[in-house]
């Protein structure tokens, strides 16, 4: 039992004051002693297990270093540092991690989780016994007419039942090992493609970024899903830090015809199937006396209310002969260039990209040709840039609760209406309650 839990019991004991009978003092002291012993045994086992894993990693690192392969050695070194720092949970392994390291991590997690589960079972047994004894005290004291003492026993029992640490221990015992095959904990909808997944508890019986997921077909939804995903766990599904994400492509177009998809142009002339420096694309030129030249893509970016991280990539060409236009940039409705980035390499075809986060609650993306202040007086009519390809991908997502489930998989709370669904994950991170 941690200090918060002990303090809560002590506070209740003080509230009951001298009215509490001696059996309460004996009961509380015995419970504290047994719980402290269980905690000490757990900590000792974990320390030995961590040290054993670190030793095995260090021995393997020495073998790997002898091969001279830096990319193979670094993940082992990072794992050793994480274990010695006591990081819990351990960060996701690097994509360069070998299968041997992944197997070592899996066995380590399995052994460590067993220690934690065994400890939780001991704690739950202690709590159950404590509850039973307190209930017996409550009944006996009530029969003797000692109502204040009986109420103190009831308050202590209620605190024991509702304490967060007690609940966590019960959940670990109840759900550990059920991931995937047990009942789901949530059904989530992610912003962008509106994909919905069932989220199961992880190997520790909790909902985490390691929780297995299962794609479901949304029912009675006002928006249809726009794609699919290869994600197997929640972290991959929402693009959490350290997890591989299968991006949602909100817009992708190769400009090899007169079709622009949903890319609309205003005060900008378009010339299709243009050839330049060995490649083809669309030429975008400024109209004479253009007042507000821009391009527009509606509903392709995550708004700040469903905050996300996205990547804009393109293949482009900026002619050296432009008099004023020296590049282009993208904006989310208003403000400066997204990510502070301008696409401004001149004279040859370039592949450029920018990755950034939501900056506005409007989901639209605007395209502007850039003119440096020193050239504002020059008539830019006829200046152009060329695009052969443009792509917008969501890399990190927000997700909303479509349905929450009870311990046995029964629907508890939720909504079919997106506006009424609670935000659960924002930009790849759990929302703090």
Max CA-CA distance within the chain? 100
Residue 181 located in a structural domain:
no
What is the mean pLDDT of the segment spanning 381-393? 94
pLDDT of residue 5: 44
30 and 170 fall within a common domain: yes
pLDDT of residue 87: 83
128 and 270 fall within a common domain: no
**Residue 329 β-bridge partners:** 368
Residue 274 located in a structural domain:
yes
Q: Is 45 exposed, middle or buried (0-12, 13-18, 19+ CB in 10 A)?
A: middle
**317 with 276: CB under 8 angstroms?**
yes
pLDDT band for position 222 (cuts 50, 70, 90): low
Dihedral of the alpha carbons of 197, 201, 203, 204, in degrees to the nearest 10? 150
CA atoms within 13 A on the CB side of 48: 8
pLDDT band for position 18 (cuts 50, 70, 90): very low
- 358-378 pLDDT, tens digit per residue, is 999 999 999 999 998 888 878
What is the mean pLDDT of the segment spanning 98-115? 88
pLDDT of residue 351: 96
- Higher-pLDDT residue of 401, 174: 401
Q: Which of 120, 149, 175 is the last residue of a domain?
A: 175
What is the mean pLDDT of the segment spanning 326-347? 94
Assess whether pLDDT exceeds 70 at residue 85: yes
Q: Centre a 10 Å sphere on the Cβ of residue 184 and count the other Cβ atoms it contains.
A: 22
Place of tokens 């409007």: 362
pLDDT of residue 20: 42
pLDDT of residue 353: 96
256: its two tokens: 């090899």
69 and 171 fall within a common domain: yes
253 and 390 fall within a common domain: yes
Work out how many domains the chain is built from and give that number. Answer: 3
Residue 244 located in a structural domain:
no
Residue 180 located in a structural domain:
no
258 and 350 fall within a common domain: yes
Assess whether pLDDT exceeds 60 at residue 177: no
CA atoms within 13 A on the CB side of 333: 13
107 and 231 fall within a common domain: no
pLDDT of residue 11: 39
- 274-326 pLDDT, tens digit per residue, is 999 889 999 999 888 888 899 999 999 999 999 999 999 999 999 999 999 99
Assess whether pLDDT exceeds 50 at residue 337: yes
pLDDT of residue 24: 67
97 and 108 fall within a common domain: yes
Q: Which of 175, 203, 229 is the last residue of a domain?
A: 175
pLDDT band for position 259 (cuts 50, 70, 90): confident
- 185-221 pLDDT, tens digit per residue, is 999 999 999 999 999 988 777 899 989 999 886 665 5
17 and 93 fall within a common domain: yes
CA atoms within 13 A on the CB side of 45: 16
pLDDT of residue 36: 86
- 233-258 pLDDT, tens digit per residue, is 999 999 998 888 889 999 999 998 88
pLDDT of residue 21: 43
Residues 6+ apart with CB under 8 A from 6: 32
pLDDT of residue 396: 97
The pairing of beta strand 365-370 with beta strand 309-317? unpaired
Q: Is 357 exposed, middle or buried (0-12, 13-18, 19+ CB in 10 A)?
A: middle
Assess whether pLDDT exceeds 80 at residue 398: yes
- Please state, for a pLDDT cut of 70, what percent of the chain lies above it: 90
What is the mean pLDDT of the segment spanning 140-158? 89
Range of the domain at 68: 3-175
pLDDT band for position 126 (cuts 50, 70, 90): confident
pLDDT band for position 62 (cuts 50, 70, 90): very high
Residue 47 located in a structural domain:
yes
Residue 107 located in a structural domain:
yes
Q: Nearest-CA neighbor of 85 among 77, 93, 96?
A: 77
102 and 151 fall within a common domain: yes
Assess whether pLDDT exceeds 80 at residue 7: no
Q: Nearest-CA neighbor of 255 among 223, 198, 295?
A: 295
332 and 401 fall within a common domain: no
Assess whether pLDDT exceeds 60 at residue 68: yes
Q: Nearest-CA neighbor of 22 among 161, 141, 147, 142?
A: 141
136 and 23 fall within a common domain: yes
Name the most confidently modeled range: 140-144, 259-263, 354-358: 354-358
Residue 203 located in a structural domain:
yes
Q: What is the mean pLDDT of the chain?
A: 86
Write the CATH number for 307: 2.60.120.260
3-state secondary structure the chain: CCHHHHHHHHHHHHHHHHHCCHHHHHHHHHHHHHHHHHHHHHHHHHHHHHHHHHHHHHHHHHHHHCCCCHHHHHHHHHHHHHHHHCCCCCCCCCCCCCHHHHHHHHHHHHHHHHHHHHHHHHHHHHHHHHHHHHHHHHHHHHHCCCHHHHHHHHHHHHHHHHCHHHHHHHHHHHHCCCCCCCCCCEEEEECCCCCEEEECCCCCCCCCCCCEEEEECCCCCCCCCCCCCCCCEHHHHHCCCCCCCCCEEEEEEECCCCCCCCEEEECEEEEEEEEECCEEEEEEEECCCCCCCEEEECCCCCCHHHCCEEEEEEEEECCCCCCCCCEEEEECCCCCCHHHCCECCCCCCEEEEEEEECCCCCCCEEEEEECCHHHCCCCCCCCEEEEEEEEEEEEECCEEEEEEECCCCCEEEECCCHHHCCEEEECCEECCC
**225 with 194: CB under 8 angstroms?**
yes
Q: Which of 153, 175, 197 is the last residue of a domain?
A: 175
Min mean pLDDT across 51-55, 81-85, 241-245, 267-271 is at 241-245
Residue 410 located in a structural domain:
yes
φ/ψ of 390, rounded to 5, equals -145, 135
140 and 56 fall within a common domain: yes
């Amino acid at each position: 039992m941690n200090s918060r839990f002990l303090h809560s019991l002590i506070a209740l004991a003080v509230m009951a004051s001298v009215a509490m009978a001696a059996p309460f003092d004996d009961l509380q002291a015995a419970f504290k002693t047994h719980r402290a012993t269980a905690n000490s045994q757990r900590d000792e086992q974990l320390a030995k297990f961590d040290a054993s894993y670190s030793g095995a990693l260090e021995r393997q690192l020495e073998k790997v270093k002898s091969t001279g392969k830096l990319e193979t050695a670094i993940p082992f070194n990072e794992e050793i540092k994480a274990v010695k720092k006591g990081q819990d949970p351990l960060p996701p392994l690097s994509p360069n991690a070998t299968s041997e390291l992944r197997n070592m991590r899996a066995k380590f997690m399995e052994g460590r989780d067993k220690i934690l589960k065994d400890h939780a079972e001991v704690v739950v047994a202690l709590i159950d016994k404590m509850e039973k004894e307190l209930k017996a005290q409550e009944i006996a004291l009530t029969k003797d007419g000692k109502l204040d003492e009986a109420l103190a026993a009831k308050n202590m029992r209620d605190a024991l039942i509702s304490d967060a640490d007690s609940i966590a221990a019960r959940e670990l015992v109840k759900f550990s090992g059920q991931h995937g095959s047990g009942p789901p904990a949530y059904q989530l909808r992610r912003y962008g493609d509106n994909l919905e997944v069932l989220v199961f508890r992880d190997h520790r019986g909790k909902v985490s970024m390691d929780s297995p997921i299962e794609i479901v077909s949304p029912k009675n939804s006002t928006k249809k899903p726009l794609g699919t995903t290869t994600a197997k766990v929640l972290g991959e599904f929402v693009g959490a830090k350290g997890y591989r994400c299968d991006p949602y492509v909100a817009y992708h177009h190769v400009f090899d015809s007169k079709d622009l998809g949903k890319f609309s142009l205003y005060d900008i002339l378009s010339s299709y199937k243009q050839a330049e420096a060995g490649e083809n694309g669309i030429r975008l030129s400024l109209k004479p006396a253009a007042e507000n030249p821009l391009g527009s893509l509606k509903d392709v970016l995550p708004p700040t209310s469903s905050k996300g991280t996205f990547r804009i990539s393109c293949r482009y060409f900026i002619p050296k002969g432009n008099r004023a236009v020296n590049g282009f940039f993208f904006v989310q409705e208003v403000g400066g260039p997204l990510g502070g980035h301008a696409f401004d390499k001149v004279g040859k075809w370039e592949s450029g990209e920018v990755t950034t986060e939501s900056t506005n609650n409007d989901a639209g993306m605007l395209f502007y040709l850039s003119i440096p202040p020193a050239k504002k007086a020059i008539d830019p009519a006829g200046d152009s840039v060329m695009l052969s390809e443009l792509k917008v991908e969501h890399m990190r997502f927000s997700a909303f609760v479509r349905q929450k489930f009870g311990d046995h998989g029964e629907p508890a709370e939720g909504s079919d209406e997106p506006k009424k669904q609670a935000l659960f994950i924002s930009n790849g991170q759990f929302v703090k309650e």
